[in-house]
A and B are shown apart, each in its own frame.
Chain A
Amino acid sequence: MTRKQKRLTLIGFAGLVLAVAVGLVLFALNDRITFFTSPTDLAQGKVKPGTRLRLGGLVEDGSIKRGDGTVVRFRVTDGVNAVPVTYTGILPDLFREGQGTVAEGMIGADGEFKADTVLAKHDENYMPKEVADALKQSGHWQEEAAKATPKK
């Protein structure tokens, strides 16, 4: 092969790999991501039933009810609206009433959110950023509560 041919082969191949990568990324960004919503977004009907999404907020006080086996029902609230959630499985260690949580799943036609994953914060001072934002928007954010760590 001549020098020019070598160069063309290299550039052509690099271009091909790049094109495939870009194509995959674009396709996946259309298809394989989940949107984050707040209970208020759901209440306002901004989301079609059957789309996969993440729901963030606080676990409403007194809302955790256990069903048969490992079925759990609770409500996620942002202080303005609350969404009922059902989940089958084991809740994370730090899942508690009044604490921040993120549930991933789909909203059913009956308005109930069916979660297949439930996350809770990993640290007592940590709150998922989306949850903090959602709470700030609804005016339920307490600054002093966010800074529980005593400083000198």
Chain B
Amino acid sequence: MIVEVGHFALVLALALALVQSVVPIWGAVRGDARAMALAGPISGGQFLFVAISFAALTWAHVVSDFSVVNVFENSHSTKPMIYKISGVWGNHEGSMLLWVAILALFGALVAWFGRNLPRTLRANVLGVQAWVAVAFYLFVLLTSNPFARFAEPPMEGRDLNPLLQDFGLAVHPPLLYLGYVGFSIAFSFAAAALIEGRIDAAWARWVRPWTLAAWVFLTLGIAMGSYWAYYELGWGGWWFWDPVENASLLPWLAGTALLHSAIVMEKRDGLKIWTILLAILAFSLSLLGTFLVRSGVLTSVHAFATDPARGVFILGILMLFVGGSLTLFAARAATLTKGGLFAPISREGSLVFNNLFLTAATATVFIGTLYPLALEAVTGGKISVGAPFFDMTFGPLMVPLLIALPVGPFLAWKRGDIAAVAQRLAVVLVLSIAATLVTWAIRGHAVLPALGVGLATWLMLGSLAEIAFRIKLFSQPAGALRRAVGLPRSAWGTMLGHFGVGVMLLGIVAESAWKIEQVLVMKPGDHVRIERFDVAFERSVPNSGPNWDEVIARFRVSDGTSNPPVIMEPSKRSYRTRSMPTTETAIETWGLFSQLYLAIGEAQGDGVAMRIYWKPLVLLIWIGTLIMSIGGVVSLTDRRLRVGAPTPRKAAAMALPAAAE
């Protein structure tokens, strides 16, 4: 009965979304306040019912109700409780229910925080949001219904794909979806602006926090997915340029561009049409990502269960929203007032530079991901586009962007003084060159890694220098602390975001240039040396978990000092229900950021085939992304962004800014 209540609640949410997609927009067109006012309560109601629905499915998973097809296919009575819960969204149907639940959550949040938005804008935004919701409710109910039942339920379930029975994968999809779906808000605002034919600086300010929140979640989601692939797949890689990974990178790149262009729009009243286009693109690419993952049109190591019928449905949704919004854009963009042009050397000029390179990079990833598909459709030829393509295209486009990155925040609005900036950054430049030379000298005279370290240093020190100069840390150290406190949070957010890029780059450079890999067969009693470590294979021992068995290989690792040796136990696990083996790696962190990584393959005699990696500074890759996300959160707490729009009361306090604090 609980299951059926959940099912009905989902249908009710669809019905409410249908009302919400028509009535408020009709009200906005007619200037009917009564109809427009409906949007808010209905958004809340939609979320209420989707939440009931999601709770019901979770309940079915928790109690292993195998009369629900979705539970039967993805769960097992012996599965640990945490994976019974994460299994709710660890499969297609459940993850789409999570998708619509997050969409409804964002809709309700817009309704709540947007109470002081202009009436018509609010009605239009929530109306467009409901269009997206209707499409996805229909998708879930008609092609991917998580509440389908068995007339004669089986006694035991088929268990969740073992690769997904992992903490990383329990949190990766919700984060990613919070990001994907968060861009729907920017999309709805863009569509609403086009419908109204009116866009101004306030619009940018309302959109920016939503975009920023979505961007933070997407950043964390991508990083989490990357770390999962690193430790769970046992290949030691952290990014494969796999189509599904690219599918999450595309909206991230577009979203990053959108974040930056929205600043120009708010501060300088420029780049309006461009920002609208980016908002449409970011969400379209999110939809594309959902389509690529869910339809299986692209060969991917990630492509878990896929189904062409669903693919066609999502393709329909994709074309409807991308096509529809771009048509709307073409028809209405001309009616929007255009902003002015800028001097090339200025803050806004640097943000245009950022947008140019980010969108060009987005385009190369887009082409690399979809070209094989297009080629096959046109000529039938089959190709695969992998890391070499992206290294050749995406890489070179990132370099000028990263070199210019620390310079941008130093430039003043309207007219920057490049000479003054050069003077301020001179010390940073000298230090970066020194870092390059030192790396070159002590790390075997390799040029590219040394330049990479130099660039990372430039990014990290450059971001710090900007803050240092703004608070006059060196010229007037006396008041620096007071100025640092008074600095807007968004400035700190910018610094952290840019600093994180440098940290991540350092990790990437160190990991790719100096990792050590050994593949070998070891028998009990064997020793092997890798970097400064002595790895000794002691023995293999069997072990059993709730729904799996494993053979653990026990290693004793000493780091060549007097430190006590560390026991590392990678294992080969076999999940009983699916009789599917997985590799459980053993990873040990040395000196904060570097890791020793052990993965075993199949047994050979009484020995095992195994991989040993030494990954210097590898953790910096994810720490860097974490810092970037923290930067986003700090920026989000900026007073200006905390509420969707400032209340008129605040304007009255204008004369006494200190009192308003």
Given contacts A21-B397, A126-B304, contact A14 B356 (CB under 8 A): yes
Residues from chain B with Cβ under 8 Å of A62 in the complex = none
A17 to B357, Cβ gap below 8 A? Answer: yes
Residues from chain B with Cβ under 8 Å of A21 in the complex = 360-361, 363-364, 393, 397
Residues from chain A with Cβ under 8 Å of B520 in the complex = 69-70
Least CB distance, A74 to chain B, in whole angstroms: 13
A33 to B341, Cβ gap below 8 A? Answer: no
Question: Which of A9, A34, A126 lies in contact with B303, CB distance below 8 A?
Answer: A126
A125, B361: Cα distance in complex, Å: 35
> What residue in chain B is nearest A95 (Cβ atoms)?
B602
A123, B148: Cα distance in complex, Å: 22
Q: Is B547 an interface residue (CB 8 A)?
A: no
Stretch with Cβ within 8 A of A (4 or more), from B79-87, B380-388, B651-659: B380-388
Centre residue among A31, A123, A124 by max chain B CB count within 10 A: A123
Please provide the chain B residues from 286 to 324 with a CB less than 8 Å away from any CB of chain A in the complex: 296, 298-299, 301-306
B384 to A17, Cβ gap below 8 A? Answer: no
Given contacts A17-B357, A24-B392, contact A70 B73 (CB under 8 A): no
Please provide the chain B residues from 135 to 156 with a CB less than 8 Å away from any CB of chain A in the complex: 148-151
Residues from chain B with Cβ under 8 Å of A90 in the complex = 234, 519, 599, 601-602, 609-611
Please provide the chain A residues from 108 to 133 with a CB less than 8 Å away from any CB of chain B in the complex: 119, 122-126, 128-130, 133
B397 to A24, Cβ gap below 8 A? Answer: yes
Question: Which of B163, B521, B580 lies in contact with A69, CB distance below 8 A?
Answer: B521
Residues from chain A with Cβ under 8 Å of B572 in the complex = 93
Q: Is B540 an interface residue (CB 8 A)?
A: no
Q: Is B389 an interface residue (CB 8 A)?
A: yes
A20, B363: Cα distance in complex, Å: 12
Q: Is B112 an interface residue (CB 8 A)?
A: no
Residues from chain A with Cβ under 8 Å of B561 in the complex = none
Residues from chain A with Cβ under 8 Å of B298 in the complex = 129
Interface size on B, residues (CB 8 A): 62
A142, B370: Cα distance in complex, Å: 29
Residues from chain A with Cβ under 8 Å of B604 in the complex = 66
> What residue in chain A is nearest B601 (Cβ atoms)?
A90
Question: Which of A24, A126, A149, A152 lies in contact with B151, CB distance below 8 A?
Answer: A152
Q: Is A7 an interface residue (CB 8 A)?
A: yes
A17, B360: Cα distance in complex, Å: 7
B388 to A93, Cβ gap below 8 A? Answer: no
Least CB distance, A50 to chain B, in whole angstroms: 16
Instruction: Give 1 or 0 for each of A82-100: 1 = CB within 8 Å of chain B CB.
Output: 0000001111011000000
Given contacts A13-B356, A126-B304, contact A91 B151 (CB under 8 A): no
A20 to B397, Cβ gap below 8 A? Answer: yes
Instruction: Give 1 or 0 for each of B388-400: 1 = CB within 8 Å of chain A CB.
Output: 1101110011000
A69, B302: Cα distance in complex, Å: 30
A37, B384: Cα distance in complex, Å: 11
Least CB distance, A87 to chain B, in whole angstroms: 11
B341 to A34, Cβ gap below 8 A? Answer: no
Given contacts A6-B342, A122-B163, A128-B299, contact A24 B396 (CB under 8 A): yes
Residues from chain A with Cβ under 8 Å of B393 in the complex = 21, 24-25, 28
Q: Is A54 an interface residue (CB 8 A)?
A: yes
A122 to B352, Cβ gap below 8 A? Answer: no
Residues from chain A with Cβ under 8 Å of B367 in the complex = 25
Question: Which of B305, B371, B381, B601 lies in contact with A126, CB distance below 8 A?
Answer: B305
B383 to A36, Cβ gap below 8 A? Answer: yes
Residues from chain A with Cβ under 8 Å of B31 in the complex = none
Residues from chain B with Cβ under 8 Å of A27 in the complex = 392
A33 to B384, Cβ gap below 8 A? Answer: yes
> What residue in chain A is nearest B583 (Cβ atoms)?
A93
Least CB distance, A64 to chain B, in whole angstroms: 10
Instruction: Give 1 or 0 for each of B595-629: 1 = CB within 8 Å of chain A CB.
Output: 00001011010000111000000000000000000
Please provide the chain A residues from 1 to 51 with a CB less than 8 Å away from any CB of chain B in the complex: 1, 3, 6-7, 9-10, 13-14, 17-18, 20-21, 24-25, 27-29, 31-37
Residues from chain B with Cβ under 8 Å of A130 in the complex = 299, 382
A13 to B392, Cβ gap below 8 A? Answer: no
Given contacts A9-B344, A13-B356, contact A33 B385 (CB under 8 A): yes
A129 to B392, Cβ gap below 8 A? Answer: no
A20, B397: Cα distance in complex, Å: 8
Residues from chain A with Cβ under 8 Å of B78 in the complex = none
A18, B397: Cα distance in complex, Å: 10
> What residue in chain A is nearest B573 (Cβ atoms)?
A93
Residues from chain B with Cβ under 8 Å of A126 in the complex = 303-306
A107, B521: Cα distance in complex, Å: 26
Q: Is B165 an interface residue (CB 8 A)?
A: no
Please provide the chain B residues from 333 to 375 with a CB less than 8 Å away from any CB of chain A in the complex: 341-344, 352-353, 356-357, 360-361, 363-364, 367-368, 371
Least CB distance, B322 to chain A, in whole angstroms: 21
A88, B609: Cα distance in complex, Å: 11
> What residue in chain A is nearest B392 (Cβ atoms)?
A28
Of the A-B pairs whose beta carbons lie under 8 Å apart in the complex, a sample of 14, sorted by A's number, is: A27-B392, A31-B388, A32-B386, A35-B384, A36-B382, A88-B519, A90-B610, A93-B581, A94-B581, A129-B298, A130-B299, A130-B382, A133-B382, A152-B69
Which chain B residues have a beta carbon within 8 Å of chain A's beta carbons? Answer: 69, 73, 148-151, 161, 163, 234, 296, 298-299, 301-306, 341-344, 352-353, 356-357, 360-361, 363-364, 367-368, 371, 381-386, 388-389, 391-393, 396-397, 519-521, 572, 578, 580-583, 599, 601-602, 604, 609-611
Which chain A residues have a beta carbon within 8 Å of chain B's beta carbons? Answer: 1, 3, 6-7, 9-10, 13-14, 17-18, 20-21, 24-25, 27-29, 31-37, 54, 66, 69-70, 88-91, 93-94, 104, 119, 122-126, 128-130, 133, 149, 151-152
- Other CB < 8 Å A-B pairs besides A21-B361, A90-B599, 15 of them? A10-B344, A21-B364, A21-B397, A24-B392, A29-B371, A32-B385, A32-B388, A32-B389, A33-B388, A89-B611, A90-B234, A90-B601, A122-B302, A125-B305, A126-B306
5 closest A-B pairs by beta carbon, nearest first, are A90-B601, A36-B382, A32-B388, A28-B392, A21-B360
